[in-house]
Amino acid sequence: MDFALIVLIELLRAVAGLVLIAAGLAIIFGMMRVINIAHGEFLMLGGYTVVLTTKLGVNLWVAILVLAPLFVGVFGIIVERCIIQFLYNRLLDSILATWGLSLLLIGAVTVVFGNTVEGVATPLGGFDIGDYKMASYTLVLIFAAALILAAIYAVLRYTRFGLIARSTMQNPGMAEALGVNSKLVYMATFGIGAALTGLAGGLLAPIAGVVPSMGVYFIGQAFITVVTGGSAIVAGTLSASTMLGTLSQSITFLSGPVFGDAALLLVALILLRLLPQGITGRIFSRSL
């Protein structure tokens, strides 16, 4: 019974992990059709922000929840102004440019901060479920993922900015004819996507090894989740994360992490064969 509860929490945590690393990408790729190969490095920058600022005495939670998204968001806006804005609708060029950016960021962080910066321990300690111990931080991750999805939904659905952003992505010409400054909307959207990625990187910092190359461990799963999810940001991210996360985590419990990894790829492969436009290309196709 206790073990069943542990498994349930771990399944939720696997889903939350995918939601966290994929949410920012879902906005940048799903809405704007920009393939950001440097997505993993945006996560890394979020992690480094937390590790470096807590070393300077900043409160860990301020670093994770405020500084990481703020810094990476601003950085994202600079990247959008300097690189991305020239590459909309140029898919291959944007892959090449952001790949270069990814290498540049890994190199720059290594040169400036070195690749052995002392990390932070996971806060909050643990709690007992019967004979088992569980890290309280796991619940923080699950809660944060739920909150992020809810916030994206609320902004897109109920705010004027959300309406303008959606209309700009659907038909930039018409939006501009109605007086929308589409450049500004693109910039802001990219910045929000980057900020969410920075927040995810910050949240992962206490449970991962923060090194310049850490992005490579996440970028594959992030892209698989977003592509499997399809064009709807919230419904797509949630449905893909749930399906991939629970399946691979269940297999991990049953047969070990090697098979868990393989299962995630296999499920994504089958889903994309059956639903080439992603889950939300066919199902929930009118949702956000």
Partner 1 sequence: MTRLNKPTRRDFMRTAAAGAGAAAFSSVFPAISADADDAILVGGLHDLSGFIDFAGIPMNQIMLMAIEEINAQGGLLGREVKGVVYDPQSNMSLYSQYATQLALKDKVAVVMGGITSASRETIRPIFHRFKTLYFYNTLYEGGVCDRNEITLGTTPAQTVEQLVPHTMNLWGKKVYTIAADYNYGQITAAWVKRYVEQNGGEVLSTDFFPLDVTNFGPTISKIQEAKPDMVMSVLVGTGHLGFYNQWAAGGMKDEIPIASTTFGAAGAEIEIIAPEVANGIITSYGYYPQIDTPLNNAWVESVKKRYPDDTPFLTELSAFTWEGMMIWADAVRTAGSLDRMALIEVMESGKEYEFPSGKVTIDRKTHHAIRDVYVADLQDKQFVIKEKFSQVQPADTQTVCDLEKDPNANKHYEISLN
Chain residues that interact with partner 1, rule: CB under 8 A: 3, 6-7, 10, 13-14, 17, 107, 110, 115-122, 124-126, 131-138, 206-211, 213-214, 216-218, 220, 249, 252-253, 256-258, 260-261
* Cβ at position 92, least distance to partner 1 in Å: 24
Instruction: Please answer whether residues 52 and 70 qualify as being in contact, where contact means their C-beta atoms are separated by less than 8 angstroms.
Output: no
The smaller minimum CB distance to partner 1, of residues 65 and 208, is found at: 208
* Cβ at position 187, least distance to partner 1 in Å: 32
* Cβ at position 189, least distance to partner 1 in Å: 28
Token match 């500084």: residue?
67
**123 phi and psi, to 5 degrees?**
-80, 175
- Give the whole-angstrom CA distance, residue 252 versus residue 7: 11
- Give the whole-angstrom CA distance, residue 248 versus residue 13: 12
Tokens of 164: 């303008």
The smaller minimum CB distance to partner 1, of residues 95 and 120, is found at: 120
Query: Does residue 132 sit in helix, strand or coil?
Result: strand
The smaller minimum CB distance to partner 1, of residues 219 and 279, is found at: 219
The smaller minimum CB distance to partner 1, of residues 41 and 80, is found at: 41
* Cβ at position 31, least distance to partner 1 in Å: 27
The smaller minimum CB distance to partner 1, of residues 3 and 161, is found at: 3
Query: Does residue 128 sit in helix, strand or coil?
Result: strand
* Cβ at position 122, least distance to partner 1 in Å: 3
CA angle 194, 195, 199 (to 5 degrees): 120
DSSP-derived secondary structure letter, 86: G
Token match 């109605």: residue?
178
